[in-house]
Structure 1
C-alpha cells in the first residue's frame, strides 16, 4: 500500500505485481505467423524461427509494444530482443510454431529484466510458463505435452505493465517438428553464460483445478479473548490507514461499524533487529486529525473490542521491507509482534508482505506467535493475485502451512490484468468471472472456503486498476455461495461458507461515500 499522495492504491509499488504469463498470449494463439529458419543462433533441433534474433530484426515474431532487435545487451551472437512495456501494455512478443500431436516439447530462453515471462499457449494440455526478475542473464525453461489434436502452439515473451525494458535471447523449442515447419538451422554461437545455480521462481497457469484438499481437522480459531466478542460466519475486513495519502483521514473510532476486522496499516521493519517490527501512529496523520495521541488510539482499540470488532496489526505494505528468512528473524518477528499485541491490545496480525515471503520460517514464527497469544489469535493475509495463482507460490504455501491458525485470506483482485482461472480460461480483472475463477483456485488448492475472502479497492482512486462496484462484489459472493448471479464462469461447487470481503481501505471507503461498507457490508452480514 502506498503512503504517498495520489495516485495511491493498495500495494502499488515501483515493481507491479506479477501477472500470469499466459494471460495476454492466449488472445493471439491463432495468428498463424509465417515461419522460416531465421538466425545463426538457432540451436540444432530448434523449432523457433529467428530465436536468436540474428537477422537483426523481429522477423518471425509479432510484438504488441515498442520492441526491437538490439546489439547490446546480448546473451550470444550479435542481437537480442528488447521490449519496453507501457502502463497499458506488457510488451508481448509471440510466434506460432507447428508441432505434432501428443508429443513432448521443451521451451527455453535466456532473459534479463525487472519482470520477464516465457510460455506457450494453445498446447492442448497444461500450458506452461516461467518467469524471473533478475537483472543479469538467466535461463528460463519449461516443458509441455501437446494434446491429441494439437498441430500448433503460440510461444510468447512479455514483461510487466509500466516496468523497465526486458531482454531475451536464444529462444528455443525442441521436440518433433510439425508439418510445414522448415528444417532448423544449427547453432554457430552456443550460449556463453552458465545457468544460474539457483533456479528463478516459476509459475504455471493451471488448466485444470488441482485436487481439493480436505479442510483442516482443526477449524480456524474463532474463540476470541473475553473482551473482544466473536467473529461472524461471514465478515467484512477493512484496512485503516495510519498515514495520509489523499483519502479521508480517520481516527480508529471513526471506522465504519460494518467492518468486523480492522487491519491497522502498517507495522514497520525494526532497523535494529532482522525480522522485528515496530509501530507508532504517523505524526503527520495525528496532526491532520487535529491531534491523535497514542493513548486515544489505544482507547479506540478497546472501544472497538467492546463493539465486538477485531483489530489486527498489518505487517508490510509498500514500504514494509520485512524479511523473515531464518530462525533468528523468525524469533524476532514473533517476539516483537507479541510485544505490540500485548501493548496495544491487537487481536493478531495481518500479513501484507509484497517483497516476497519465506513460507517455512514465517509459518514457524506465526505458529510461535499464535501459541503465545492463545485461542483468540486472529491471522489474516492479503496477498497479491499472482501470489495465490497456484499452490507452488510461496504465499500460497504460507497460507497452507498456517491453515490451522488462519482466519481469512483476502486476495487483492486488482492491479492484476487478465489471468487464467481455475478452468484454464483467461478472465480480465474488474469482473465477476475474474474474482470467482481465482477464488476457485484458492479453494481447490487446499484452503477451506471459510478461510477465503474477496479483496477489492473501496473506490476507483484506491487502486491503479481493477476497481469494481459493490454490486459486482455481491454478485461474486452469491455465485460462490449459492451458484447464482454468476457470469460465464460457474464454480464447480457451491461454497456457502465463503468468508466475506475486504476493502482497501476504510479511508477510501469514507471518501467514496461509504459505498463498500454500506452495500457489501449489508450483503455479507445477510448471507446465511
Structure 2
C-alpha cells in the first residue's frame, strides 16, 4: 500500500515469442554415478568466478536461489540479451547432459563448439524455479565447449542456478558431484492447532529439499526448513522425523520429536469476522486524503487495518506510533477508545505491517520470535485483533510462517490474520507470499491481493489480462482459488479512488460485477470461472481516507454489495 504517494512500478506479463530453438533429447538427471559435473562455480557461490557476462549484465544475488546461498541474476538491456558463458573441459566422443535451473524472464540454455550438433533449450518467463535440460555429444577432437545462458531483448531479468554438464571427467576440475546430505538437526515443534503440527529444523549443507515423516510415513516434501502437517486428530500425539535430500539421495532420518494437537475448537483464525467482509486501510498519516479518527470510519468496513507498524532496530520487531500531530491532535487514549468502540460494534481492528516503504526483515528464528512478540505486545497495548502482512519488499516464507504461528499460539483462535500481496506475488504457488499463505492456511483469515499498480498479468487460464477490467479481477482471483486457498480466504483489493494508486482504479460497479462473477457466475467478462465460489470473503480498499475524500463512494457501493453476496 502507498504510504505517502502512489507507486508507479509496473509489472507486465508478455505473450510468448515465436522463437525457433534446436533441442536434442531431454534428460532430467546425471548420466551415471561415475560421471561428474564439469562446470566450475556451478551454483555461483563464488560470485561470477569462471563466468563472463555480456555488457556487465550479470550479478549474483542471495534471493531467489535454487540451492546454496547465491544465484545468477542477468538483466537484458537494449540489444543485449544478458548472455553469461563458461568454457567447460570435456572429453572427445562423449555424451553429456547439460542442465540448469532458471526463473524470471525468458531464459535460454545452450552449448557451442561441440564438434557435432550444438544444442539449446529455453522457457518463457517463469515465476518459480524450472529446470532446463538437454544432451549433446562431443566430436572426435573436442576437448572444450562453451556453455551459456541468456535472456531475451527487452524482457525481464532471468535467474540461473546449479548449472551442470554431467558426463565423463574432462579434466578441468569442475564442481564435485553432490553427496548424500546428513540428517537434519534441531527438529522442533513450532506450533500446534487442533488439526495441525508445525515443525522447524536446521538447514543441511548440500540439501535441496526435505521429507517430513509422521509416525514413520512420509507425509510431505518441502524445500525450506519448516513445514505444517495438517489433517490431524484433536488432542492426539504424533511422532515426526525429517530427512534431507538432493540429487544424490536421501539422508538418514533426524531424531524424532513428538507433537500433540490441541483440543477441538483451537485455531481456525478469523474470530467473528462476517462470512462476507469489507476491509479498509486507515492511514496513520496525512498524505492529502481525508484525515480521520477511527470513529470516522464508516460502518460498512468490517475489518480496519491500521497502517502502519514500523520496523525497530531489533531484527524482526515492529512498533506503532500514533501520528497525533499529523492527525489533528488525535490522542492515544482516544485511539484506544475508538478501537474498543469499533469492536463493540462487531468490527475488527488490526495493525498492518509494511506498506510501500515499510521494510521488516524476518529471516531467521530470532527475528521470527521478535516479530511475534512485538506484534502480540501491540495487540495487548492497543487492543488490536490481529495483524495484516503488507510487506511489498519481499518476505521469507519459512520464517514469516514461523512468526505467524508463534503469534497465533500467543493470541489464540480469535486472531485475525490478513495479507495484502501485490499481483506478482500471487502468480504462482512457488512464490514466497503464496507459500506463506498456504503455510498458515489453517489460521489465515483472508488474502486481499492488490489489483492495482500492476500492469497486465496472467490469469489462471494462461491468458494475459489488462488491469482495470472485470476479467483482470476474476482471472487472477482464480489463481488463488485454484491454488489452494479457500474461497473464504480470498478478497479483491482495489483503490478507493484514482488518487489512491498510480493505476488500477475501477468503479464500484466493476468490483461488484467481479464479485458476482466469482460468487454467482453472472456479470462476467470474457473469462468465466469453471465454477462459482459463494463463500468468497469479499473486498478491500486502500484506503478509508481516500474513500472519504471521494464521499465514501467506494464503501457505499461495494460495501452493501459485499454484504448482500450469497
TM-score (norm 1): 0.65
Instruction: Say whether residues 1:282 and 2:323 are aligned partners.
Output: yes
Partners in 1 of 2:98 and 2:276 — Cα distance?
Answer: 46
Q: What's 1:97 paired with? A: none
Q: Distance in 2 between matches of 1:453 and 1:527?
A: 13
1:329 paired to 2:360: no
C-alpha displacement of 1:306: 1.1
Q: Distance in 2 between matches of 1:265 and 1:412?
A: 15
Instruction: Give the length in aligned residue pairs.
Output: 391
Structure 1 347/71 Cα, relative in aligned 2: closer, same or farther at 3 Å?
closer
| Aligned pairs for 1:57-456 within 5 A | 72-73=55-56, 83=77, 117-118=105-106, 128-130=124-126, 143=132, 156-158=152-154, 221=268, 224=271, 230-271=272-313, 273-286=314-327, 289=328, 291-456=329-494
Specify every segment of 5 or more residues in structure 2 that has no aligned partner in the other structure, as ranges.
26-52, 60-73, 83-96, 109-121, 135-150, 161-204, 207-229, 233-264
1:2 maps to 2
d(CA) in 2 for partners of 1:402, 1:257: 29
Q: Distance in 1 between matches of 2:77 and 2:274?
A: 49
Distance 1:277 1:474, change over 3 A: same
In structure 2, the CA distance between the partners of 1:396 and 1:223, relative to structure 1 (3 Å rule), is closer
Q: Distance in 2 between matches of 1:477 and 1:342?
A: 35
Cα distance change, pair 216–492 in 1 and its aligned pair in 2 (3 A): farther
Q: In structure 2, do the counterparts of structure 1 residues 365 and 394 end up closer, same or farther at CA, with 3 Å as the change threshold?
A: same
Deviation of 1:130 (Å): 4.1
- CA–CA separation in structure 2 for the residues paired with 1:484 and 1:444: 19
Counterparts of 2:491 and 2:515, CA distance in 1: 9
Contact 1:244/1:284, CA 8 A, preserved across alignment? no
Q: Hey, what's the Cα distance between the residues in 2 that align with 1:81 and 1:444?
A: 32
Select 1:486's aligned residue among 500, 511, 524: 524
Larger relative contact order (Cα-Cα within 8 Å, sequence gap ≥ 6): 1
- Paired residues of 1:317 and 1:354 also in contact (CA < 8 A): yes
Q: Distance in 2 between matches of 1:307 and 1:280?
A: 25
Q: 1:382-422 CA distances to partner (integer Å, 9 max, x unpaired)?
A: 00111111100110010001111100000011111111111
SS state at 1:292 partner: coil
Q: For the structure 1 residues 223 and 118, does the alpha-carbon distance in structure 2 shift closer, same or farther, using more than 3 Å as the test?
A: closer
Displacement of 1:374 in angstroms is 1.6
C-alpha deviations, 1:309-330, integer Å up to 9, x for none? 0000001112221111111111
* 547, 550, 553: which one aligns with 1:515: 553
Q: Give the whole-Å Cα distance in 1 for the aligned partners of 2:534 and 2:391.
A: 29
Q: Identify the residue that residue 142 of structure 2 maps to in structure 1.
A: none
Structure 1: gaps of 5 or more residues: 38-42, 46-69, 85-90, 95-104, 121-125, 133-139, 146-154, 161-165, 170-196, 199-214, 225-229
Distance 2:378 2:557 in 1: 33
Partner secondary structure for residue 268 of structure 1: strand
SS of equivalent to 2:402: helix
Decide whether aligned partners of structure 1 residues 349 and 423 sit closer, same or farther in structure 2, where only a CA change above 3 A counts.
same
CA contact (8 A) 1:269 1:275 kept: yes
Residue-by-residue CA offset, 1:320-341 (whole Å, 9 max, x unaligned)? 2111111111111111111110
- Which of residues 461, 479, 486 in structure 1 aligns to 2:499? 461
2: CA distance, partners of 1:220 / 1:451: 15
- Greater CA radius of gyration, 1 or 2? 2
Report the Cα distance in structure 2 between the residues aligned to 1:484 and 1:432, rounded to whole angstroms: 11
Task: Kindly state the Cα deviation for residue 356 of structure 1 after the two structures are TM-superposed.
Answer: 1.2
The answer (yes or no) to whether the contact 2:76–2:154 under 8 Å persists in 1 is no
Gap change, CA 1:298 and 1:392, over 3 Å in 2: same
Q: Does the C-alpha gap of structure 1 residues 265 and 93 become closer, same or farther in structure 2, counting only changes over 3 Å? A: same
What is the Cα deviation at residue 364 of structure 1?
1.3
2-side partners of 1:461 and 1:454: how far apart? 18
Shift of 1:143: 3.6
Q: Higher strand fraction: Structure 1 or Structure 2?
A: 2
Task: Output the CA distance in 2 between the equivalents of 1:118 and 1:432.
Answer: 28
CA distance in 1, matches of 2:381, 2:126: 44
CA distance in 2, matches of 1:74, 1:402: 38
CA 1:251 to 1:144, structure 2 compared with 1: closer, same or farther past 3 Å?
Answer: farther
Match of 2:14 in 1: 24
What is the SS of the residue equivalent to 1:404? helix
